[in-house]
Amino acid sequence: MPQAPKEGFFSKPSGKIERKTYDDSTERLKVSVRNLRVPDGVEAAVEIDGCEIAKFKIENGTGRYDEEYTDPALAPKLKSDQQVKIIVGSEILLVGDLYID
């Protein structure tokens, strides 16, 4: 994998994952990451407890995934204390635990 430029990145990598359920039972999953030192166009995977739930492209060190599920059965099941990983290739870039806000 080519090396990403180091200039322009001044903070530690960070990420956020949100799940919302609406009155009509629609569920929305949003994932955002920033300050990742990877080449533009690289695809990142979101993994929860070892299962891949989403993929998105990284541009300028940032990436976003935003999906609405009108059928709640198709939405990834998330619960507090599950481990989330952002992975590029075989490299784990971010790791965190889910919590209820």
* β-pairing verdict for 14-21 and 63-69: unpaired
CA distances in angstroms from 43 to 24, 39, 46, 57, 77, listed in the order given: 32, 10, 10, 4, 22
- Asked whether 14 and 35 are in contact (CB, 8 A), the reply is yes
SS3 for 29?
Answer: strand
- CA separation for the pair 55, 33 (Å, rounded): 12
Please name each of the domains of the chain with its CATH number: 14-97 (2.60.40)
pLDDT in tens, 64-88: 999 999 998 999 988 888 999 999 9
- CA separation for the pair 94, 89 (Å, rounded): 13
The pair of structure tokens assigned to 43 is 């695809």
Question: Residue 36 — very low, low, confident or very high, per pLDDT cuts 50/70/90?
Answer: very high
pLDDT in tens, 58-69: 999 999 999 999
